[in-house]
Structure 1
């Protein structure tokens, strides 16, 4: 299934049916009176987060969703049939954005969450509704309310606890494949990863979800390479794992490049908890490793893990550090448990 994380959708709710102006005319009934029924309500357009979806590819082949109109009212006090609602089934983590691409309408982060996007029009009243003590034979009937037409954007941000960032060929896909059952494409050339990948990582009997996104290069915020189109998929993460290629001769520059691109994308993203790891240490001798680790610690201003996604060296320590931050975030997000007292 092809990955798609942005889609433009055109929706329209149904208009309400018109009310009926009718009078009862039956044999042996001297004063029949009004009996026009109400029009039916128009169908509404909803969005719902469902399980089993991880892409918006369905909305590439169908962009228009129009709910049915309500049927007009009829004589003999018969109400018109209401139009059926339309439900857009989207993956968990989908943001619904207005046509201006800035106004957030809803953020569906849990299975079963629903949001009303376009309310169906109300059906018009029939002339029976206007009967009163002073007006025994009204001929007035209301037209139905028109539906709502709007254009929206659907943007998918994957739900993950930890996100992998780094330059192309920093070993992100190899790392994800080593710590989970995910099988992303791995090769020796840059930009092997073209779409985000998710993997469930286990450590010490605990599990969390990790996201791998395509590598960033200098100028990604200006559209170079694959740009920063996929950075939205790590915005929900509790922690970022910044992998730096240990075989590079420009360790400090590589580190600062990613930091600058994160900052250009969002201040909130660069402010997230971040763990730095020097990857591919299996290809380095002890002296080179010490020098490059020291250079990276100086550039980052903090501790640096030395790991190898191929041999697994140092990987458990990184996973434990990631999970400790994730667990802390989960505790803060959980509702406070109140002490029960009889």
Structure 2
């Protein structure tokens, strides 16, 4: 989810006209049970996907676009647009630290709902492209209808038009291509169903995961294209393309864990914490790369920083047992609640 030009903790006033009501009540609809990562039929990948694998020329199977994508995204899209409003005022002091790696602290907890995040942020001018292998659990359902887990979510530096978002709510998980240059909404959406699992996921580090690549395909028109790697064909399928001006005005990027969660009055912690702990869920982003002037390279200390810090205080997330683990600096991270 995009954060604003003012700091890595807000989304910016330029999106205010697009804000609609904060995530509302939703009916919990149980989805089909899929194989867990430990018993999935897919073969574990022994080497990361190559950014230079061929392009298939095909669209992502099952993807929908435009108003249909927005409708299927539901209230989670409303929350995506509006959460920046909650933290703009408290984030202004962090302006000088954008892209520096300085610890800007976690957002102050709200009375009932908290929006917060952690991850690796590609620096401004680090390169016009990014890719990552993102975990996704087709069985994970959040318990509170107002909550959304946008994780992992990634956009490259250099004013990308697209952010590829993994979305967990009370219903079937989804993958979005969020359009930051035109609709300021999901430009494409695909459900994480049996078709998605068979075409785009495999087992990576013991977890079901898909790989996405998001690159600038025409510099003069600022055209960006997001792809998903098709594990059956060994090629990149097109998820979404968008051109124009990045409406947030940002130049840096991110690959992060992000949530918007209500507080459980019985524990004082966010519901997301309990959901991850109960499911024994680990969110992981691995093989994070940036498209540098010298070619594709792992995200590292020379081209990216950790925000809000390398080791944030979990209590600030109302998740005192949450673990933010750097597997490989800065190209592989995990988040789980112990």
TM-score, structure 1 as length reference: 0.22
Higher relative contact order (CA 8 A, sep 6+): 2
TM-score, structure 2 as length reference: 0.22
Structure with greater strand share of residues: 2
